Amino acid sequence: MGKRQQDKVTGFGAALFGIAMIFLIIPNWVVTSDALNLTSPDTFPKFASWMLVILGAALLLKTYIEEHSDKKNAKTAQESNLASGSKPPKEAFNLQKALKSEGFCVIATFLVIALFGLLLEPLGYLLSSMLCCTLLLIAYQCRKWYYYATVILFTLALHYIFGTLLHVRIP
């Protein structure tokens, strides 16, 4: 994603989120009471939400102005791109390649972390962490046995430190 596109998404998202906060979330999820103090519990959230709307709009405006002033340069660049040749051919889907892609690793990592959070209660810390760490290593296609051994030993060591030495109640 280019810088301009990032700014547009951020500006639009912030403004939209601010509006949703002001008109939907704050009226429904902030219980106001003027009994004890002069400023209401919704003052601060409303201030932050209005600021989000203003800042989002400012970011969109800034991006628009920058885009407008760079229009000529962009046009020239586009022309030179067109002149430089044809589009690169689209590659066919390759499962092996996809499994080794950066995107797959990020998604797999997040999914395993989310699974960890979900399994922590029903399976407990030891089982869920061993399972999830092993899943991560499998997702990264690690073949070295000592990686698996290290992860399991680390999990056991943490369990001992937190549970036995520090008396933290571990699920």
Judged by CB under 8 A, how many residues of this single chain contact another protein? Answer: 73
Range 121-140, binding another protein (CB under 8 A): 121, 125, 129, 132-133, 136-137, 140
Residue whose CB is less far from another protein, 72 or 143: 143
Q: Which of 134, 98, 128 is nearest to 116 (CA)?
A: 128
Distances (CA, A) of 121 to 42, 110, 136, 160, 167: 35, 18, 20, 18, 18
Q: Is 160 in the site for another protein (CB under 8 A)?
A: no
Sign, CA torsion 77/83/84/90? positive
Biggest distance spanned by C-alpha atoms of the chain: 71
Q: Residue 156 carries which side chain, given as an amino acid letter?
A: L
Q: If binding is defined by CB under 8 A, does position 117 make contact with another protein?
A: yes
- Contact with another protein (CB under 8 A): which of 16, 20, 30, 123? 30
Residue 168 interacting with another protein (CB under 8 A):
yes
19, exposed or middle or buried, with CB in 10 Å at 0-12, 13-18, 19+? Answer: middle
Out of 70, 113, 127, 164, which residue is the one contacting another protein (CB under 8 A)? 113
**Segment near another protein (CB under 8 A); pick from 5-13, 67-75, 82-90:** 5-13
Exactly one of 19, 64, 109, 123 binds another protein (CB under 8 A); that residue is 109
